[in-house]
Amino acid sequence: MKGFTGVEARRQPRRPRKNRAERSEAIRQALFLAAARVVGRYGYADASISKITQAANVAHGTFYNYFESRQELFEQLLPALGQLLLAHVTEKVAPVPGGLAREEARLEAWFDFLRLHPEFYRILNEAEVFVPTVFRRHVETLGEGYIRALRRAKRRGELNDFTDEELEPIAYILLAARSYLSLRYANAEVPDTVQTAYMKLISHGLFTEGSVQPASARSARGEKARDERQEP
């Protein structure tokens, strides 16, 4: 097998050495990625500093050059992955035209991200217990982003007759759908029926029109009938 020897080897350009700041950032990122893998595999409770540093291939004491404690790292982990998620979804959705096609792309991007980062779901799921404030902020960030997207869709005339106030619960309903779909299919191949069922629900609704009126409509009808009986 041929290789570079002697003068030929010396002529090969050397890779530029990283400066101190670049080396420091590289180690910090290695600790983040290692923490994500370790928490994804063992959970927050069993994700020890020794496991994280071993996975990052750094000395145990190096950890404390970047984080005061394991809890500090945990509190930064979900926000970092959340930003990665938002960037991934934005990249996938940006070239897609509006309306249903964009909503379909959002769901595809969500599951695509979970395939690329299978540890994310456990990190998110356990965060409610181990970093509750961070978890709440993460959910609010996702919700606010979704509400803005729905408002833009409404301005483009792509939504049915929803009020501005109704867009917030709609956003969280759609996020909840992703959460439970992930719970069911996190460790399995996502069947095509997940996408088709979701899109049918989004585009057509669940119940046929006129089958049974919702409780709010029945209540309003009953109040109107009582008012009419009370009229002189």
Residue 14 has a pLDDT of 61
Supply the CATH number for residue 56's domain: 1.10.10.60
Considering only residues 15 and 106, tell me which one the structure prediction assigns the higher pLDDT.
106
Task: Tell me if 222 is assigned to some domain.
Answer: no
Q: Does 81 share its domain with 156? A: yes
Range of the domain at 38: 19-67
**How far is Cα 231 from Cα 3, in angstroms, rounded to an integer?**
100
Q: Does 43 share its domain with 84? A: no
- Whether 78 shows a pLDDT value over 90: the answer reads yes
Q: Does 108 share its domain with 55? A: no
Sign of the alpha-carbon dihedral angle for 135, 138, 142, 143: positive
**How far is Cα 17 from Cα 6, in angstroms, rounded to an integer?**
22
- pLDDT per residue over 17-41, tens digit each? 777 788 899 999 999 999 999 999 9
Q: Does 23 share its domain with 112? A: no
Q: Does 25 share its domain with 130? A: no
Task: Tell me if 78 is assigned to some domain.
Answer: yes
Distant-in-sequence, close-in-space partners of 121: CB < 8 Å, separation ≥ 6: 114, 182, 183, 186
Question: Cα torsion at 124, 127, 132, 136 (round to 10°)?
Answer: 0
Q: Does 23 share its domain with 37? A: yes
User: Total structural domains in the chain?
Assistant: 2
Q: Does 62 share its domain with 136? A: no
User: Exposed, middle or buried, 184 (CB in 10 Å: 0-12/13-18/19+)?
Assistant: exposed
Q: How far is CA 187 from the centre of its chain?
A: 16
Supply the CATH number for residue 178's domain: 1.10.357.10
Task: Tell me if 219 is assigned to some domain.
Answer: no
**How far is Cα 147 from Cα 144, in angstroms, rounded to an integer?**
5
Q: Does 168 share its domain with 81? A: yes
Distant-in-sequence, close-in-space partners of 105: CB < 8 Å, separation ≥ 6: 92, 93, 96
- Which of 65, 195, 178, 54 lies closest to 124 in space, CA to CA? 178
Task: Tell me if 85 is assigned to some domain.
Answer: yes
HSE-CB at 108 with a 13 A cutoff on CA atoms is 13
- pLDDT per residue over 100-154, tens digit each? 999 999 999 999 999 999 999 899 999 999 999 999 999 999 999 999 999 999 9
Residue 205 has a pLDDT of 84
Task: Tell me if 123 is assigned to some domain.
Answer: yes
Q: What is the DSSP string of 114-157?
A: HHH-TTHHHHHHHHHHHSHHHHHHHHHHHHHHHHHHHHHHHHTT
**Rounded to two decimals, what is the model's pTM?**
0.76
Q: Does 134 share its domain with 41? A: no
Task: Tell me if 116 is assigned to some domain.
Answer: yes
